[in-house]
Amino acid sequence: MKTPHWARRSTNATVESVTTSKTQPVDPLIGLVGGLGVGAAIHYYRALAAAHDDGLRPLRLVMDHASISRATEYASKGDRHGLAVYLAGFLSRLKSAGATFGVIPAVTPHLCIDELKRITPLPVIDITEAVASAVRERKLSKVALFGTRFVIESDLYGRLAGVDVVRPRPDEVDFVHRAYTHLAHSASVSDDDRRQLTDLAGTLEKREGVDAILLAGTDFALMFDASNTPFPHLDCARIHIDAILRAAGTTADAPAIV
């Protein structure tokens, strides 16, 4: 696949370098790639808006809409380059709209994050780095992942070095992938899937001795929250949102782990 002209030049910019300037402060403007899926993008928007309202600061955000079906097709084929070029196109448009950094509010598309960082016209808040840092900070030694099979079978794309990552059994991975894919594509919560996922989390606690379940799919925010999640878990969407807020100069106090 031929790389578009805008994607040929790598950026070495960091979030810190674009949100501040030696000569003139730049108000951060968040560039959100929505649609991956829609429910997670709405959840991010609501959380970001609430945190800015609490801080009495206006939320500066632009959004473009990607196709979850197309992104999933790239992931299914293992086409990291194709997915990176696809996402970089959205980031290019968001930069043209004034964004100072980009956000991809989904874990599966981070399959190509290394390739994307080499060609993106905007620095990106990497959810895999934020989650790995949170796992280390909380001293979790043994975890399991809930998400798509791409996330589970890669141990969060190899980002959890030094942590014992327990993979569910093959039939359990099939179920989690199927349940999460339905949730992400439909933005509709199945009570039966929630019950079975909760039961599976309990099984992994008892059978494997995991410290926590990483909810490594941002659409899980539609299904699980602190009020209905009886198992120890790490909310990867919340961790990502907090990283975005820090980059935007705003903070939030919502817990990421229970």
81 Cβ contact partners less than 8 Å away, ≥ 6 residues apart: 1, 112, 115
The pTM for the full model equals: 0.87
Calculate what percentage of the chain has a pLDDT beyond 70. 87
- For residue 255, name the pLDDT band (cuts at 50, 70, 90): very low
CATH class assigned to 5-126+239-247? alpha beta
Q: pLDDT, tens digit, for every residue of 191-214? A: 999 999 999 999 999 999 999 999
Neighbours of 21 (CB within 10 A): 9
Helix axes 68-77, 80-96, angle to 10 degrees: 150
| 101 strand-pairing partners | 30
What pLDDT, on the 0 to 100 scale, is given for residue 24?
A: 54
Residue whose C-alpha is closest to residue 242's, from 147, 137, 127: 127
pLDDT mean across residues, the chain: 90
Question: Which residues of the chain form CATH 3.40.50.1860?
Answer: 5-126+239-247, 128-236
User: Rounded CA gap, 252 and 258, in Å?
Assistant: 16
User: Rounded CA gap, 121 and 101, in Å?
Assistant: 9
128-236 CATH pick, 3.90.1150.10, 3.20.20.80, 3.40.50.11030, 3.40.50.1860: 3.40.50.1860
Does residue 146 carry a pLDDT above 70? yes
User: Rounded CA gap, 161 and 141, in Å?
Assistant: 10
User: Rounded CA gap, 107 and 25, in Å?
Assistant: 31
* Higher pLDDT among residues 242 and 18, named by residue: 242
User: Rounded CA gap, 150 and 172, in Å?
Assistant: 14
Q: pLDDT, tens digit, for every residue of 32-70? A: 999 999 999 999 999 999 999 998 889 999 999 999 999
